[in-house]
Amino acid sequence: MQIGELARQTGCEVETIRYYEREGLLPAPARSASGYRRYEPGHVEQLNFIRHCRSLGMSLADIRQLADYHRHPAPEPCDRVNALIDDQIRRVHSQIETLQQLERQLLALRGRCHSPHTLADCGILKTLEDASSGEPCACHPPATGKKIAG
């Protein structure tokens, strides 16, 4: 099949497929006399593998590793596969925690301006301004030993 058909079957953009080939994620297919890429059914699965891993937030470098393990299922232990997934879980978890803290900070900042104000009176701008001068701000309370609410 041609690249357009592969794209349709996998829901992946044509440009992305060519990009994966350049990046060594998808093996280069045979070419027709006129230089068109000719894919086999196996390519559909390989591309699905990549897209599935991407949907799990994995980096292309990690996927390259996983795809290699998948293509060459040696009798060695699969510790590295597990470690790779564990790392990904840790990364995602720490991103969640960072974003949750961010959300709390943003909500605190947002709480500084409710009723209609002018720009000159906006509690949000005032808070940001004070913070720029080194004053303590609502959004970044001193976290040294003290609980936020308790």
Partner DNA sequence: GCACACCCTGTAGCTACTATAGGGTCAAGC
Partner DNA sequence: GCTTGACCCTATAGTAGCTACAGGGTGTGC
Integer Cα distance of 133 and 67 in angstroms: 51
For residue 37, the SS3 value is strand
The residue assigned the tokens 């080939």 is 21
Q: Which residues contact 126 (CB under 8 A, 6 or more apart)?
A: 112
At residue 19, the 3 state secondary structure works out as: helix
Q: Which of 11, 75, 142, 145 binds a second copy (CB under 8 A)?
A: 75
Which residues in the 6-25 window bind DNA by CB under 7 A?
7, 13-16, 18-19
Q: Is 100 in the site for a second copy (CB under 8 A)?
A: yes
Q: Report whether 105 contacts 74 (CB < 8 A).
A: no
Which amino acid, 25? L
Q: Quick check: 11 binds a second copy (CB under 8 A)?
A: no
Residues that bind DNA (CB under 7 A): 2-5, 7, 13-16, 18-19, 32-37, 54, 59-61
Residues that bind a second copy (CB under 8 A): 45-46, 48-49, 52-53, 55-57, 66, 69-70, 72-79, 81-82, 85-86, 88-89, 92-93, 95-96, 99-100, 102-103, 105-107, 109-110, 113, 116-122, 124-125, 128-129, 131-134, 137, 139-140
